[in-house]
Amino acid sequence: MNIIYERFCLWLGHLKLSRVIILVSVILFVVPLFTHYYLSKYESMSISQGDNALRYNLEAFSDISTKNVADLKVRIEEMLRIKASVSTELRELEAKRGRLQREAAAASSKADNAKAEYVRAAAELQRLRVSADQARLAQLEAIRRDSPELAPPIQIVPLQPPSILPSLSPSNEINCRMFSCFDHSRCSLTSSFPVYLYDPDIYTPLTGAEVDGFLKTTLRQTLGYNAHLTHNPNEACIYLIIVGESFPFTKDTTTVSDSYKLYLNGSAITTLPYWGGDGRNHVLLNLARRDLSVGSGDAFRGASTGRAMLAQSTFTHNHFRPGFDVITPPALGPPGGDVWADCAPISPARRKYLLSFQGLQPPPKGLDKDQDGTLISLLEKMVKTAPASDVFFLQFECDPPVEKRVTLPIGDWALCGTDRSRRAVLRDSTFVLILAPADRNYVTTALLQARLYEALRSGAIPVVLGGDRIRLPYEEVLDWKRAVILLPKARVTEMHFLMRSFPDADLLALRRQGRVLWERYLSSVQASIDSLLATIRTRLHIPPKPVPHTVGLPAFNDSYFPPRVEPAAVDAEPEETLGPLEAPYSSPTYQRNFSVGLLHGYELWNEWGEPFALYPQLPWDPTVTSEARFLGSAAGFRPVGAGAGGSGREFSEALGGDRPREQFTIVILTYEREAVLAAALARLRGLPYLNKVVVVWNGPSSAGAGSWPESGAPVAVVRGSRNSLNNRFLPYQLIETEAVLCVDDDAHLRHDEIIFAFRVWREHRDQIVGFPGRYHAWDLNFNNGFLYNSNYSCELSMVLTGAAFVHRYYLWAYWRVLPAAMRDYVDEYMNCEDIAMNFLVAHITRKPPVKVTSRWTFRCPGCPVTLSADETHFHERHKCIQFFTQVMGYTPLLSTQFRADSVLFKTRIPHDKQKCFKFI
């Protein structure tokens, strides 16, 4: 019993203890929970409502003692401090997170830059590998080369005057030819053709006829400008003697008087100090300038001249020695200089008169009268039967009358009227009739040459009746069939039909070629003398003297050049290899010193119009056949894929094309914009195929002495002698490549654009190849000619030389072929030099320019004001086109609808292949 009681008490004690524990646990759990709930509520209300809300909540808990409230306030303040600390820590964590994010972004950017740098480095490594391969190939070619590099010929001349040889019998003089009467030993192929002029004041009187003072002065000046003139008679190839113009004829005026023969046959001409006994290598020149209307006879008819060549405008068939004597025009023009003002415009193709003629019929006595009398009646019948739309101007009697005896020596038709009146008729004539001399013994006469001169000057197309038996000036080198219609007199009845059959294009082609021949070879005494000497030199296959370069005045002396600095990174094509990096390689020069005249002599005289100088290269130099690049003539060529072809990768490793490797020179014209120039030089860094940069400093002040960015190629700075836009096209001796990229200092061009344009130019070497396209638009409002237009158009006719490739030859042609009046106009307006170059190239080639890529204009933010920003700029360019057209007689610009873009540009190709250019 006791045991049971004790266990019950023990159980009861445990039960009480459990209840106490449970009650205490509930109190300890619930009270903090309740307190936390209300404190949280209190905190939020205190933040939102301030102290008033706090007092309100405290009053709501009136059962809490004052002591508890004080403790609660302390705890609240403590929690606020904790909150502030947590907020500060959170802000610090947020700032740290921002820094980490920025660091992560910077690291990501750095990684991207590293990847891009890796790509650039890989591309650069590939270029260096290609460059090394190209260098090794060039080294092997240099080792295997078995011929030296050519240069201008070294002059080899004789050291002694002509030796004395027996004179030639008069009966054998008519048989003289170059092989029998000329001493070739005095004219080696490398002699440069030295010419010695006998002083007219000393030696001309010995020939029996005085030369007037004006002509003597003119000839001295003219020959003074000729590069072949020498003052050392011992080294001369030929000796030039000026013969007088007025000759004492016999009473029948058909032969030279006996007294004059004594001068030619006797001691006068044979006592010339370098006559050598027989007169070999001498040229007797008669310009027949005086008494042209009288019809001077053959100056040397019946006279003995030994082995000397004769040069004059009148010859008989029996006395003219083809290939030996030279037919020259009379001295009708000015001494030299620009002659554009004397020329008539080429257009319109058909003028007022279909055919014109002014002349006095020769008397029939002593002449062949089987045709000339009949010709007049046939021509008059042609006029009567022609349709009303064909207007003729045929004048067979002079007004005022001219004595008929003046034409007795040669039976020529005398000139009627004054030079001004004849010119007025010729300017209104589509064709002009020229009649061969009635005396069939004559192959050419001074009057016939005078009529030809006047016709070509006025743009009237000569129709020569009797052209099958007459000869024209320098016909052994000039193709007169491209400018003159030569007909037998028997064709007079069909002449009208023939003239009517010519379309406008052919009429304009004949007229243009006639003007070209007249300007370059007949227009002045200078042109005639140069043509005479060039004709004889061409016979001997001697090249002319090399064309002189322009020596640029360095902007810095030899002891100082601005220090170079590495430019900042510029936008490039990181994933595109454009070509190997090579050391400067100059274009081979003078490789055709002797072959160009033999192979392209016709073009030199009749198309290019420059037989007077030897050029390092020409745009028209031929290339080898395709298989020759691999069979015996592979030196210098860089075929794509070694000849197997390929896409972008193989394309970028080799220059390809049909010509040997080459580089280009950049010419930058600048005017006191050093910051702009520095940026332009920096953009050239790493540009493949760049040989040299020539900076033309046009400003009056000296170039700055600050640091210049490294362009990766030699930079030469030259100062212009004056501020002229023409300085852009000076043929500086610093330019050693055929390809010249003319660039404005503010033109922004990507490397791939430049390389693509260079590759296109290599296939169109005789044309301008570039970026900004323009065209000449007809003035619809006033019909006053063409206007300059820069709007976007489906046609273009000009590519501005502010960003264009041209051949180096055109730099010389700009100063030797282009009329000086056009260059003077450029200087006057400080404008239009690019238009002038487009006129020149189109005039020479009759081809339009080639535009590459879609670029049409350039922007230069931050650049100083340019010339093109002036509001008068476009108005002046309108005037330039109209003035240049007036000077040249026509507008040579030709329109094109063609633009060059890269092969494979929009072609879908496999993923493992590359396009030629990514963006072109």
Cα torsion 623, 628, 633, 638 to 10°: value is 70
Write out the E strands in 365-508: 392-395, 429-435, 442-444, 461-465, 485-487
What is the β-pairing status of strands 461-465 and 485-487?
parallel
Six token digits for residue 77: 């303040």
- Residue 253: name the closest of 295, 304, 316, 190 by CA: 295
Q: 298, 372, 752, 834: which is the annotated catalytic residue?
A: 834
Structure tokens at 891: 């507008």
The H or E element spanning position 698 is: none
Cis, peptide link before residue 330, omega less than 30° from 0: no
| DSSP 8-class letter at 550 | B
How would you classify the pairing of strands 664-670 and 690-697?
parallel
Active site residue 834: yes
Element (H, E) at 530: helix 525-539
3-state secondary structure of 694: strand
Nearest one of 726, 675, 367, 308 to 550, comparing CA atoms: 726
Report helix, strand or coil for 463.
Answer: strand
Q: What does the alpha-carbon distance between residue 192 and residue 107 come to, in Å, rounded to a whole number?
A: 71
ω into 348 cis (within 30 of 0): yes
Angstrom distance (rounded) from CA 172 to CA 583: 63
- DSSP notation for 41-58: HHHHHHHHHHHHHHHHHH
Kindly give, in sequence order, each residue whose CB lies less than 8 Å from that of residue 625, ignoring residues fewer than 6 positions away: none
What 8-state DSSP symbol labels residue 207?
G
Q: 727 and 830 in contact (C-beta within 8 Å)?
A: no
Inter-residue contact 156 to 607 (CB < 8 Å): no
| Residue 661 and residue 637 in contact, taking contact as beta carbons nearer than 8 Å | yes
Strands 282-285 and 429-435: unpaired
Q: Cα 666 from chain centroid?
A: 13
Count of beta carbons in the 10 Å neighbourhood of residue 399: 10
How many C-beta atoms lie closer than 10 Å to residue 225's C-beta? 11
Residue type, 281: N
Give catalytic residues, as residue numbers.
Answer: 834
